[in-house]
């Protein structure tokens, strides 16, 4: 009899959910860029485009990893990109990691294994600052979740390097970016057309690489997204059935009172 009283609550919650579909905004309030083809991972049925993930990993590995770490990832996690155990072994073996101490009490370098965390470009914060004009390159393993606008922000940032507008004075060693808060970033433009040669033959223009590496970084931040979406559909499907049963029972039991 009073179900209609719940409608406003349901409606406002629906608005909250749909709010996620509104074009994302950066901290400054300006509209962010979005790739021409939509993100494969968005929406309740979203999954990762495996080919894009592998291309994105290639971009990270060949370009970003010179300055940016992925501290929360192990090489073994790359099986989420569809690599086989042997391929992962080969990818890891290209990097050296410090292990030890050995029997003589000394630390030593050895090729990385699947169980190792991704090798970091700098041994410590001071070394990172020293090599980068005083700025510390951010760890990228959570960057997509740690910025207002998420993947759209990262994608926009990579596409946002431009000549500074007239009247804008850049600090020493700074670069103009239309989407970085404050528009001045210590990071020089990392990607330009043809920066990598894709193993799968895809044309490596700036937008393609930005989209691929953003997809990869989204996976790096949220590797369980596909399992979460799959389980979510099952859970909500079950709950709708269960709630339907409860509703029918409620009507039947209460019919004696009404």
Partner 1 sequence: MASAAKAKKGIIGWIDHRLPIFTFLDHELGSFPEPKNLNYWWNFGSLAGIILVVMIFSGIFLAMEYTPHKDLAFDSVERIMRDVNYGWLMRYIHMNGASMFFIVTYIHIFRGLYFGSYKAPRELLWMLGVVILLLMMMTAFMGYVLPWGQMSYWGATVITNLFSAIPVVGDQIVSWLWGGFTVDNPTLNRFFSLHYLLPFVIVAVVCLHLVALHLHGSNNPLGIDRKGPQDSIPFHPYYTIKDLFGIGVFLIIFAGFVFFAPNFLGDPANYQPANPLQTPPEIVPEWYFLPFYAILRSVPDILFIPAKLAGVIAMFGSILVLFVLPWLDTSPVRSGRFRPIFRWFFLLLMIDCLVLGWVGAHKPEGTFVLIGQAATAWYFIHFLVLLPLLGKFERPRPLPTSISSAVLTVRGLHPSIKPATAIKEKS
In the set 2, 22, 166, 172, which binds partner 1 (CB under 8 A)?
2
Instruction: Give, as ranges, the residues between 71 and 100 that touch partner 1 (CB under 8 A).
Output: 71-72, 77
Burial 22-43 (b: 16+ CB within 10 A, else e): eebebeeeeebbbbeeebbbbe
Structure tokens at 82: 């569809």
Residues written for the chain: 258
Q: Give the span between the Cα atoms of 24 and 118, in whole angstroms.
A: 31
Residue 44 engages partner 1 in binding (rule: CB under 8 A):
yes
- Which CB sits closer to partner 1, 16 or 172? 16
Cβ atoms 58, 105 nearer than 8 A: no
User: With the C-alpha atoms ordered 102, 106, 109, 114, is the resulting torsion angle positive or negative?
Assistant: positive
Between 23 and 181, name the residue whose CB sits nearer to partner 1. Answer: 181
Q: Which of 90, 146, 168, 170 is close enough to bind partner 1 by CB under 8 A?
A: 146
Shortest distance, CB of residue 149 to partner 1, whole angstroms? 8
Nearest approach, Cβ of residue 137 and partner 1 (Å): 14
DSSP code at position 29: S
Residue 127: half-sphere exposure toward Cβ, Cα within 13 Å: 8
Interface residue list for partner 1 (CB under 8 A): 1-3, 5-6, 9-10, 13, 16-17, 19-20, 27, 44, 71-72, 77, 141-142, 145-148, 150, 181, 221, 223-224, 228-229, 231-233, 235-236, 239-240, 242-243, 246-247, 249-250, 253-254, 257-258
């Amino acid at each position: 009899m009073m179900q209609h009283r719940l409608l406003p609550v349901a409606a406002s919650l629906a608005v909250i959910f749909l709010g996620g579909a509104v074009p994302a905004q950066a901290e400054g309030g300006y509209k962010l860029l979005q790739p021409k083809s939509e993100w494969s991972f968005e929406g309740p049925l979203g999954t990762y485009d495996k080919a894009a993930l592998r291309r994105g990993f290639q971009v990270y590995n060949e370009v970003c990893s010179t300055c940016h770490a992925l501290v929360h990832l192990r090489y073994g996690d790359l099986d989420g990109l569809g690599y086989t155990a042997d391929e992962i072994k080969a990818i890891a073996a290209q990097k050296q990691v410090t292990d030890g101490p050995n029997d003589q009490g000394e630390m030593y370098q050895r090729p990385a294994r699947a169980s190792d965390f991704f090798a970091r470009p700098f041994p410590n914060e001071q070394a990172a600052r020293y090599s980068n004009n005083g700025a510390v390159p951010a760890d990228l393993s959570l960057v997509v979740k740690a910025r207002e606008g998420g993947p759209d922000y990262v994608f926009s940032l990579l596409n946002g390097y431009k000549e500074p507008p007239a009247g804008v004075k850049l600090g020493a060693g700074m670069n103009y970016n239309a989407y970085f808060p404050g528009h001045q970033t210590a990071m020089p433009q990392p990607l330009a057309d043809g920066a990598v040669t894709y193993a799968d033959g895809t044309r490596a223009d700036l937008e393609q690489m930005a989209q691929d590496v953003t997809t990869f970084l989204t996976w790096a931040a949220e590797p369980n997204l596909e399992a979460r979406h799959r389980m979510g559909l099952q859970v909500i499907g079950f709950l709708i059935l269960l709630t339907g049963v409860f509703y029918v029972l409620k009507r039947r039991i209460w019919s004696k009172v009404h």
